[in-house]
Structure formats: structure tokens, C-alpha cells
Amino acid sequence: MNTIPKFLLHNQQKNPHSPAIWEKKLGIWHQLSWAQLADEVRVVAAVLLLEGVKRGDYVGLLGENRPHLFSAMAAIQWIGGVVVPLYTDTNAQELVKPIQNVNISFVFVENQEQVDKLLSLMPQCPNLRRVVFDDELGMRHYKQSQLISYDALLSKGRHHLAEVSAQLDSELQRGSGIDPAALFFSSGTTGSALGVVQTHEALIERVQAAIKSEGIGSNDTSLAYLPPAWLAQHVFAYVIPMVSGSCVCCPESSETMLYDMREIGPTIFLAPPRVLEALLTQVSIRINDTGGMKRNIYDACMAVAKRVGTKIASGDSVSFTDRMKYSLGDMVIYGPLRDVLGMGRVRKAYCLGESIGPDLLLFYRSLGINLKQVYGSVEMGLFATLQERDPGLSNSLGKPAPGLELRLSPEGEVFLRGTNQFSGYHQDAESTRMRTDADGWFNTGDVGWVNEQGELHLFGRKQDIGSLSNGGYFAPKAIENKLKFSIYINEAVLVGKNRDAVCALVDIDADAAGNWADKQGLAYTGFTDLVALDEVSRLIGEVITETNAELANDPKSMHLQIQRFILLPKRLDVDDGEVTRLRKVRREAILQRYASLIEALYDGSTVGYFNAPVRHEDGSADRISAKIKIGNAQIFTTSPSQKAA
């Protein structure tokens, strides 16, 4: 089997009545079996043929994680089309480029909101001839000839299914592994997003290796809650279930994800660090809200977990008393907590998208959740490395996947090369040349090292790493991760490259800091007001001082202590270009945008002024201006632990 639709039919024959997809609708979970899914896919594929979609055509998808989206994807691939999942929160103008570049004429969309976007683009994208919408709410008034509902599409397909039946079978057989399966856009942390084509073979081989190494099978369940346009989510929600015959669950909406996860109890869980941070923040806020006794039990148990939890998980020797304490803790705290987090049945949890702080990783591991880091990129595919051991080293990413070679440059830059990987960016030879050399090695842009077992470890992005003006080494990511482990800090961006000191821009967590301010009896009206409170600035100052103390413990990181910081007057926002659609920080953009505040951090001022336009999700513009005090953190000249001794 060399294409994904062939796997679909294989599952249909092997386990016709096993669940392929669970979907929560109107408060109730509904099951879609492999047989039902395959039938639906065949009908949609029939309509696509009737509508004139040809082998090699690119078909856009602007939808949430819904069974209809997955059926559409399989149907497109059935007849040899290429799926192009797009982010649903993109505004209309940002969609023009992908639609024009890839020449998309046929799009499956979620609802009225997406239809409105596409209708407004029709003059700029004359080739756009068909828009299929799933949710019919509010659509009755739309009479444009390009529009058709998914249900109408299905009934049209059923009506004509017999006419194209033979053609459907032959199209399926014609599909081969080297056909392009999907086109994804890179996350765009460093520039505009670039399109990358993944072939069936590339997706399937990698997933097969992962399935083998991780033991994923038809009894596994995962939850599809991240944007379907993200390669990792596409692999987890679509490719893995198809290839392994496992089941994927669609939550009601992104807001209900936590409740739905608790109900369904997935066995495989995929999360970028920001989701793990947000879950931890929620738990911490709720623990802070409870009274003395419960909190004491929680703190005591978590201290035990932190001390011995990971050792027990990796089978190291632990004293009998500690084992007893840990099992008691598992009964009263860890077990129930795993359950509340919806991770009660999780066998394998994967963290990817960005490097995760060791504190955060250890928190989940000490609870008994088997959380591993995975490495991958749009260009080289997901599971570029695999960690065969459970639970594996905490900060390693594992060994390169079968068929993939890894090479480090003298400066530690990570290069990857694979047999059927990455044939270049879509219609962008210039960018392709910049990232690949003549021998086909792809420059990941990451810097790392390889341990004795051949496992990859990462320092961070090459372009973020540099030196201070006094020559000291500067690698911000690890320190930022330390800061972010505080529940009061949502995101931190360190400045210091080519400067005489390290300073921080801090995006506070409005929920946690707001909850804290409420408890202190502090009055504030909104985010900007909360940030301006001296007490909040002092609170963040304490977190930074703690981090400085840790940094001072090691002579190698002594010079990286954070001297001054400033709290950002607004949350980092996708629509202002400060973070990517996956909420990854776009460092260059932030340094530019907050240049006035950064100058104030270094020129001896006590306050900084910020005045800049902001954009709302609907595309409308506004302006924000604020005056923000600069906070000073405590600096340690000798190691604090030595002083104590």
C-alpha cells in the first residue's frame, strides 16, 4: 500500500465496524466506523471527479477537526489531488497568496465566516470556482453559484456514484507513493510562510517507523484539537489513524477540548509546549484557590513526585519509603490530577513544535505521564527523530528516523538528509537554495549536539544565539523557558545579542496574574491596567530574581543574569505579527515592534513609552499607547548556594 486512501480501504476490509472517528455533537459522542468513513469518502471522491477535479490539482481546506474534513482529505487524495490545509484564523488578505501561488480552484470550508472570506477574495482569485461549506448556519441567504453545502455535495455524489464507479477504482489504483499528498506551509517564525509538498511515501514511511517504534495500533485513540493546517496535527489526526487503524476523536469546539478529553481519555496525546504550560497554569490557579489542608497535601505530594517520580518511571533504584510515599501520592494526587487533565489513559505523550523547558517536562513526567520530545519540521517531516526508550532522556530528541541522515557542522548546526524527503519549496527555488546544499543536506537552522548513544540534543535556533558585547555567550531559549515555567509569565523574550547586558520583555499571563491581584485586593480594569500595577511588576521581579539565582549557580551562565525587564502593555498577538499561527514567538518582529521599550531598557530611563497600531482579528485597526515602568532585578555576584554554605 503506497497511498493513504489505499490504507483507508484496507482498514475498511479489516475492521469495518471498528471506530475510525468519534465526534461530539449536540453533547453526545457519535461514532463513524471505517466502513462508514470509506463509503463517505468514495461518494465525495465521485463528486470531485464529476466537478472536474484532476490528478495533481491542489484543493484547499479551511476547516476545523471534523469528520467531514478528514473525509474530504481522503477523497481528494483518492483521485490524485493534493490537499492544502490552511489556518482558519488567517484573515482574508493573507489567503490570497497561498490560493494564487498554488492555484487552488476548489475549497472545503467550515462555515459562513470562511465563506465570507473567500467571497471577498473572488475578484483577486478568479480561478476559485467551488466552495463547499460544512455548517449551514446563516448560509440560507447565500445564492452565489460557486457555493454548495457538504450535504448537497454528498447527495449529488450518491446520485451519480454508479456512473463513475469504474473510474473511481482505476483512479485509486493509479495512485503511487511518489504522488504529492499534501502541501503545508512552514510556520513562518523567521519570515513569510513557504509551501512544502509531502508525498504519500514520505508521510507513510515516517509514520510506519513511528508506529513500529512506539507500538501504536488499532486500540489507540487520539484527540484532534490543534489546527489541522499544522503538519504535526495532520499526521496525528489523519495519517497515523489511516496507517495504523487507530481512532481519532473530534471535540465539540476548541473551548470544550479539556472536557472532551476527560470524557474520551485518549491514549496518545500530542501537545506543543504552550498547551502544556497553559494546562499547568490552570491547575496551579485552581490549587491556589483551595484552602490550607488540600494545598498542603498537594505541595507535599508534588515535592515527592519531583524528587523520585522520574526515577521510578525510568526504573532507577529508589528507597522503599520513597516508593511507598509515591504510591500514596499517586492515589490521592497524581492519579486524580492525570484524570482531571484528561491524561488518565495516556500511554505516549509527545511534545513538539518548540523546545520545552526541563522544569515543565519534569512536572508531567513526575506525575507518571510518559512525555517525550519529538523533532520535526514541515520540510523534513514529523518524527524526524524517534526516542525508542520509554521514558527516554528528558532533554534528548532521540535518534534520526530510518532513512534520514544527520550531520552537524563545526558550529553545531543540524543538517538532515533523507531519501524521499523535501524536494524543495513550492515554486520558490531561491528559498530552497538558501536552505539546502548541493549534496541535498537540509539546514534546519537549529544548533545542537549528539550524545554517545547518537541521540540529538538542541540548544536553540542558530539566529537567536549570539554573544553579548563583552563577548559572553548568549543563548536565550533555555532561560526564557525557565521564566515561562512561572505561571505568571506567558511568554518572555530576552534581549542581549551584541549588547552589554541581558534584559527581558515579559508577556504576563493575564489569568494567573489577575487571579493573584484579586487575592491581594488590587483593583484593575483590564490587561494594560494590570500590567501597570507596581505590585505585579514586583511579582515578576521576584520570578526573575529566582531565575538569576539559578543562573548564578553556574559560572558559565553567571553573565546571563537578567538586569532589567519590562512588562509588555499588550498580549503578543498573531494579528500583529508577533507570534505565528501556532503561537511561536517571532523574535525579529518583536524586537522591531518594541524597539522604543528596548532602548529605554538600555539608556538608563526609568520608564518606557510604547505607541503602535494594533490589528484585530476582523482586520480592523486600532492604536495602543502606554507608559511602562522599567523593573530592576536582583543580580548575584557570587553563587547564592555557595553564600548559603
Partner 1 sequence: MDALVQTHNHTPGVSQRAFPIGAPILELDNVSLRFGGVKALTNISFNVLEHEIRAIIGPNGAGKSSMLNVINGVYRPQEGTIKMRGELLTEMTPNRAAEIGISRTFQNIALFKGMTVLDNIMAGCSLRENANFLEIAFQLPRARREETENREKVERIIEFLQIEHIRKTPVKRLPYGLQKRVELGRALAAEPKILLLDEPMAGMNIEEKQDMCRFILDVNDHFGTTVVLIEHDMGVVMDLSDRVVVLDYGKKIGDGPPDEVRNDPEVIKAYLGVAD
- Please give the residue ranges that form the binding site for partner 1 (CB under 8 A): 26-28, 119, 137-138, 140-144, 252-253, 255-256, 259
Q: Nearest-5° angle of CA 50, CA 53, CA 59?
A: 135
Identify each DSSP E strand in 318-376 by its residue range. Answer: 348-351, 371-373
Smaller CB separation from partner 1, 17 or 141: 141
Dihedral pair phi/psi, residue 417, rounded to 5°: -145, 135
Smaller CB separation from partner 1, 2 or 112: 112
Nearest to 192 by CA among 349, 426, 382: 426
Minimum CB separation of residue 69 from partner 1 in Å reads 18
Smaller CB separation from partner 1, 144 or 592: 144
Smaller CB separation from partner 1, 51 or 252: 252
Minimum CB separation of residue 143 from partner 1 in Å reads 6
Nearest to 609 by CA among 617, 618, 597: 597
**Backbone φ/ψ region at 422: left (φ over 0), alpha (ψ -120 to 50), beta:** left
Q: State the cell numbers at 239.
A: 495519517
Which amino acid would we find at residue 55? R
What's the Rg (C-alpha) of the chain?
26
d(CA 190, CA 204): 29
SS3 track for 603-638: CCCCEEEEEEEEECCCCCEEEEEEEEECEECCCCCC
**Paired strand residues for 526:** none
Smaller CB separation from partner 1, 26 or 645: 26
Residue 134, helix vs strand vs coil = coil
Minimum CB separation of residue 137 from partner 1 in Å reads 7
d(CA 211, CA 386): 10
Minimum CB separation of residue 62 from partner 1 in Å reads 19
Minimum CB separation of residue 258 from partner 1 in Å reads 9
Minimum CB separation of residue 146 from partner 1 in Å reads 11
Smaller CB separation from partner 1, 119 or 408: 119
Q: State the cell numbers at 390.
A: 520509554
Minimum CB separation of residue 219 from partner 1 in Å reads 28
Smaller CB separation from partner 1, 137 or 523: 137
Smaller CB separation from partner 1, 390 or 529: 529
Instruction: Give the neighbor-by-neighbor strand order of the sheet with 180-185.
Output: 147-149, 130-133, 106-109, 58-62, 82-85, 180-185, 195-199
Smaller CB separation from partner 1, 144 or 296: 144
Smaller CB separation from partner 1, 138 or 215: 138
Identify each DSSP E strand in 551-601 by its residue range. Answer: 562-567
Half-sphere exposure in the Cβ direction for 243 (13 Å, CA): 26
- Given a contact cutoff of 8 angstroms between Cβ atoms, the answer to whether 101 and 125 are in contact is no
